[in-house]
Amino acid sequence: MADVSTNSPRLILTDTNFRLWLPLFWIGLIAAAALFAPLIAPQDPLAQDLMMERLPPFFMEGSEPGYWLGTDSLGRDVLSRIIYGARIALFVSLIAATTTGIFGSALGLIAGYYGGWADRVISRLVDIWMAFPPVLFAVLLVAVMGTGLGSVIAAIALIDWTRFARVIRAETMVQARMDYVDSARIGGARRAATLVSEILPNVMPSIIALLMLEMGIAVIVEAILSFVNLSISSDDPTWGSMIAEGRGAIHFAWWVLLFPLIALFMTVLSFSTLGEGLKQHFDPVLK
C-alpha cells in the first residue's frame, strides 16, 4: 500500500508535465519561427518560379536543395510559406483570444456575482447570440466588414465571447457561495473589491484554460476564412489559403496540402492541451 501511495503523485506530476511541456515546445517553436521568419525562411514566400513548380520534399526523388518541403503550383517554397503563415495565425489568435477573454469573462463575472437583472440580461444575450451558427456568422461578419486581419479579429471576438461568459458565470456563482467571500463581506470589503480580489483569482485557472482553447479556435477560424479567401490578400501566405490550394493538387502534389494541415492541427491541439495542463497546474483543487 505504501508503494501505491508514493507512486501516485509521481504519475500525476508526469501527466501534468506532459500536458505543459510538450505543447509549450510546439507553440514555442511556432512562435520562434514566426518571430524570426526573415532569418529562418529558406526562400522568399512570395517568390514565384514556374521552373520550380511542384517540387517534392527533400526525402523524395526529384527534390531540389533549399526547398525542404517542396513547392506549390507557382514554384513558391512550402516551408517558407508555412513559417510566414504562422505569423498571421499567432497574431490573430493572440489578439482575438485576449479581446474575447476580457470581454466575455467580465460579463460572466458580473452575471455570476451580482445576479438579478444583470444576470438575466447577460444570460438572455448569450442565449440569443449562441443561436447563430458560429462559422456562418463569422463569414457574414467578415463579408459585411470587409476582408483584412482587423475584420477577422473582430469577427472572432464578436462570436466567441459567449463561451467565456457562460463558463465564468457558472464558476463565479460557485465561488460566490464560498465562506471566504462571506468573510470578506463581513470584514467590510465592497462587493466590487471582493469580486476582483477574492473571486477573480479563483476563477483565473478557468479563464487561462479557456484562453488557450480560444487561441486554438481563433487559429481554426482564421484558417477557414482564408480558405474561402475572406481573410487577407490571397497572395499572402496563410495556412488556410495553402490548404485550399493544396486540395486541388492532392493527387499529384500532396505535400502542398499535408504540411500546412499538420502545422494547423498541431498548433490547435497544443493550445487545447496547454490550457488543460495550465488549469491542472494552477488550480489548487485539482492539485
- pLDDT per residue as tens digits for the range 164-199: 999 999 999 988 888 888 787 777 778 888 888 888
DSSP letter at 277? H
Q: Is residue 13 domain-resident?
A: no
Using one digit for the tens of pLDDT, what is the confidence trace for 114-131?
888 999 999 999 988 888
- Domain containing residue 106: 85-282
Q: Is residue 48 domain-resident?
A: no
CA dist 193 and 190 (Å) reads: 5
Q: Is residue 20 domain-resident?
A: no
CA dihedral (65, 73, 146, 129) positive or negative = negative
CA 105 from chain center: how many Å? 16
Q: Is residue 2 domain-resident?
A: no
Q: How many residues in the chain?
A: 287
CA dist 268 and 224 (Å) reads: 13
Residue 194 CB partners (closer than 8 Å, separation 6+)? 181, 184, 185
Using one digit for the tens of pLDDT, what is the confidence trace for 65-78?
889 999 998 899 99
Radius of gyration of the chain (CA): 23
3 state DSSP class of 77: strand
Interval 128-155 mean pLDDT:
83
Q: Are 256 and 245 in contact (CB under 8 A)?
A: yes
Q: What is the pLDDT of residue 283?
A: 59
Q: Is residue 250 domain-resident?
A: yes
- Domain total for the chain? 1
CA dist 77 and 157 (Å) reads: 33
N-terminal to C-terminal alpha carbon distance within the chain? 22
CA dist 221 and 133 (Å) reads: 13
Q: What is the pLDDT of residue 34?
A: 92
Q: Is residue 43 domain-resident?
A: no
Q: Is residue 68 domain-resident?
A: no
Q: Is residue 4 domain-resident?
A: no
Using one digit for the tens of pLDDT, what is the confidence trace for 11-56?
344 555 666 888 999 999 999 999 999 999 999 999 898 888 899 9
Domain harbouring 199, CATH code = 1.10.3720.10
Q: What is the pLDDT of residue 2?
A: 42
Using one digit for the tens of pLDDT, what is the confidence trace for 234-253?
678 899 999 998 988 888 88
Judge whether residue 219 has pLDDT over 70. yes
Judge whether residue 9 has pLDDT over 60. no
What are the b/e assignments for 178-206, b being 16+ CB within 10 Å?
Answer: eeebeebeeeebeeeebbeebbbebbbbb
